[in-house]
Structure 1
Amino acid sequence: MSNTRPHTVTADWLYEQFGDEDLVIVDTTVHLTMPPEGSVHIDPGLDTYLEAHIPDAVYADLFTDFSDHRAPMPFTAASSERFAAAAGAVGIGQGRRVVLYDQGNGMWAARLWWQLRLDGFDDVAVLDGGLSVWRADGYPVAEGQVVPHAAMFVPRRRPEMLCSAESIAAALDDPRILIIDARDPATGRGDNPSYPRRGHIPGSVTIAYGDLVDLETGRLRPTDELRAVFEEAGALDPEVSPVTYSGGGIAATGVAHALAVVGRTDVAVYCGSLDEWAGADSLPSVEGPEPR
Structure 2
Amino acid sequence: MRDANALVSTGQLAAILREPDLRIYDCTTYLEPPPPGSDEPYVAVPGLASFEAAHIPGADFLDLQGEFSDPETRLRFMMPPADRLAAAFGRHGLGDGTKVVLYSIGTMMWATRLWWMLRSIGFDNAAILNGGFDKWRAEGRPTESGAAAGYKPARMVARPRPGLFTDRHAVKAAIGQVDRITVNALGPQFHRGLEPSRYGRPGRIPGSVNVPAAGLTDPASREFLPLDQAEQKFVSNGITGDKNVICYCGGGISATIDLFLLHQLGYDKLSLYDGSMGEWARDPTLPIETD
Task: Please report the TM-score for the alignment, with normalisation by the length of structure 2.
Answer: 0.93
Determine if contact 2:185/2:210 at 8 Å carries over to the other structure.
yes
Letter in 1 for 2:286: L
Query: Following the alignment from structure 2 to structure 1, what is the Cα–Cα distance between the partners of residues 199 and 256?
Result: 21
Alignment correspondent of 1:252: 255
Structure 2: distance between partners of 1:252 and 1:232? 18
1:140 pairs, out of 133, 139, 142, with: 142
Deviation sequence 1:151-200 (CA, Å, 0-9, x none) = 11100111211111111111112111110001011123444567363111
Map of 1:60 onto structure 2: 62
**120-129 or 131-140: which moved more?**
131-140
Q: Which amino acid aligns with 1:218?
A: R
Letter in 1 for 2:68: F
- Tell whether 2:217 aligns with 1:218: no
Task: Letter of the 1:210 partner, please give it.
Answer: A
Structure 2 CA distance for aligned equivalents of residues 196 and 178 of structure 1: 22
Q: Structure 2 CA distance, aligned partners of 1:266 and 1:100?
A: 24
Long gaps (5+) in structure 1? none
Q: Which residue of the partner structure matches residue 189 of structure 2? A: 186
Check if 1:204 corresponds to 2:203. Answer: no
Percent identity over the alignment is: 35
Per the TM alignment, residue 120 of structure 1 is displaced from its structure 2 partner at its CA by 0.6
- What amino acid is the match of 1:96? T
Out of 32-41 and 68-77, give the one that drifted further: 32-41
Root-mean-square deviation (CA), in Å?
A: 1.9
SS at match of 2:236: helix
**1:70-109 alignment runs, 5 A limit:** 70-109=72-111
Is the contact between residue 105 and residue 219 of structure 1 (CA under 8 Å) also seen in structure 2?
no
User: For the structure 1 residues 31 and 194, does the alpha-carbon distance in structure 2 shift closer, same or farther, using more than 3 Å as the test?
Assistant: farther
Q: Residue 141 and residue 195 in structure 1: after superposition, are their counterparts in 2 closer, same or farther (change >3 A)?
A: same
* Corresponding pairs, count: 286
Distance 1:254 1:36, change over 3 A: farther
Where does structure 2 lack aligned partners over 5 or more consecutive residues?
Answer: none
Which residue of the partner structure matches residue 277 of structure 2?
Answer: 274
Whole-angstrom CA distance in 1 between matches of 2:286 and 2:3: 42
How far the C-alpha of 1:275 sits from its partner, in A, is: 1.2
Comparing 150-159 and 31-40, the one that deviates more: 31-40
Deviates more, 1:258-267 or 1:40-49: 258-267
Q: Provide the C-alpha distance between the structure 2 equivalents of 1:178 and 1:3, rounded to a whole number of angstroms.
A: 22
Letter in 2 for 1:248: G
Contact conserved, 2:2 with 2:263, CA < 8 A, in 1?
no
Work out whether residues 165 and 277 of structure 1, in 8 Å CA contact, stay in contact via their aligned partners in 2.
yes
Contact 1:7/1:257 (CA < 8 Å) preserved in 2? no
Please report how far the alpha carbon of residue 121 of structure 1 lies from its aligned counterpart in structure 2 after TM superposition: 0.5
2:29 corresponds in structure 1 to: 30
Give the residue type in structure 1 aligned to 2:23. Answer: V
- State the alpha-carbon separation in 2 of the partners of residues 199 and 58 from structure 1: 38
Letter in 2 for 1:232: S
- Aligned to 1:18, the other structure's residue is in SS state coil
